[in-house]
Amino acid sequence: MSAPMIVFVCWGNICRSPMAAVVASAYAQREGVKVTFDSAGLSAEEHGNPIDPRAAAVLRRAGYAIEPHNARRITVDEVKAASMLIGMEQFHLERLRALVPGLNDLYLLSDFDPDARPGEETPDPWYGPDSAFDETLKKIEAAMPEIIRRARELAASAPDSAPR
């Protein structure tokens, strides 16, 4: 069995979800957590597009390495295969539940931020000024300690995680 998979989901897969996957991957690598992070969108309108240049710039300024990215729409099989799905807005969770009824392990990014209000959404920075991308990164980073703690638990409970 492969490493557990945590998928971040937003609308177009060019801003919030790829930013979250980059940050989570960096945190996991730094802490030695064996979980795969990915991102996808609910819409196909940005299909094939790279990460938004403003998102990439914010990540680079913060010291994160940016891998090539092609926006894509999440599939039913990916939803079913994910160990955990993390959406940015309630609407994203509703769409994922409509795609695969009875989903478990479905959360908002803010569910992992101890300072966030219950149900708080992560607004789409695409519609705002460049500073909105800085705010998005702050929200993502605030959620990371708890996301990484949960990822560590997932990795520890994976069938192939036993020491050799």
**Is 124 an annotated catalytic residue?**
yes
**Is 95 an annotated catalytic residue?**
no
Mapped to the 3 state alphabet, what secondary structure does 8-19 carry? EEECCCCCHHHH
For tokens 């060019």, the residue is: 14
Residue of 73, 97, 111, 124 marked catalytic:
124
Closest among 136, 3, 115, 10 to 71, alpha carbons compared: 10
Mapped to the 3 state alphabet, what secondary structure does 98-146 carry? HHCCCCCCEEEHHHHCCCCCCCCCCCCHHHCCCHHHHHHHHHHHHHHHH
* Angstrom distance (rounded) from CA 15 to CA 122: 11
Inter-CA distances, 133 with 20, 52, 57, 117, Å: 12, 10, 9, 20
**Is 72 an annotated catalytic residue?**
no
Residue of 10, 38, 52, 54 marked catalytic:
10
Residue of 16, 54, 72, 150 marked catalytic:
16
Active centre residues (catalytic): 10, 16, 124
